[in-house]
Amino acid sequence: MKLIVKWLLSAAALLCVAYLYQGVSVSSFGAALLAAFVIGLFNMVLRPVLVLLTLPVTLVTLGLFLFVINALMFWFAAGVLDGFYVRSFGAALLGSLIYSAFGIVIDSAVERLLFK
């Protein structure tokens, strides 16, 4: 149940990102659901591998390179899906930052309000 609620709220957050920032567009709520699923899947499977491979760069940049990895996951998801579009890497970077901020709020709200 918790996973489904977070997935639905993440899709809504993706729609909010598209509404707030014009570099990201989502055609429908169904496309947002699929995009949220793919972003979550990429973050679960690809992100740990990329973090491990880029560990020296991440250490040298004091962790700032993790923002680049998040943007890549966001951009890759847009690249493989129809209905979810990111204009450029810069748009992916800003869009992923906004989406991550929504994700933090969603995680906190779900933990506090729904599942005490």
Q: Is the pLDDT of residue 114 over 70?
A: yes
- 63 in helix, strand or coil? coil
pLDDT digits (tens, 9 = 90+) for 70-108: 999 999 999 999 999 999 999 999 999 999 999 999 999
Q: For residue 40, is pLDDT > 90?
A: yes
Which tokens hold the place of 59? 């250490």
Is the pLDDT score of 115 beyond 70? Answer: no
Cα radius of gyration rounded to whole Å, the chain: 14
End-to-end CA, the chain: 13
Whole-number Å distance between alpha carbons of 30 and 104? 22
Mean pLDDT of 35-59: 95
Put simply, whether the predicted model's pTM sits higher than 0.85 gets the answer: yes
Q: Nearest to residue 100, comparing CAs of 27, 21, 28?
A: 21
Please state, in angstroms and rounded to a whole number, the distance separating the CA atoms of residues 59 and 66.
Answer: 10
Identify the pLDDT of residue 60.
96
3-state secondary structure of 89: helix
Confidence of residue 44 (pLDDT cuts 50, 70, 90): very high
Q: How confident is the model at residue 110 (pLDDT cuts 50, 70, 90)?
A: confident
Share of the chain above pLDDT 90, in %: 88
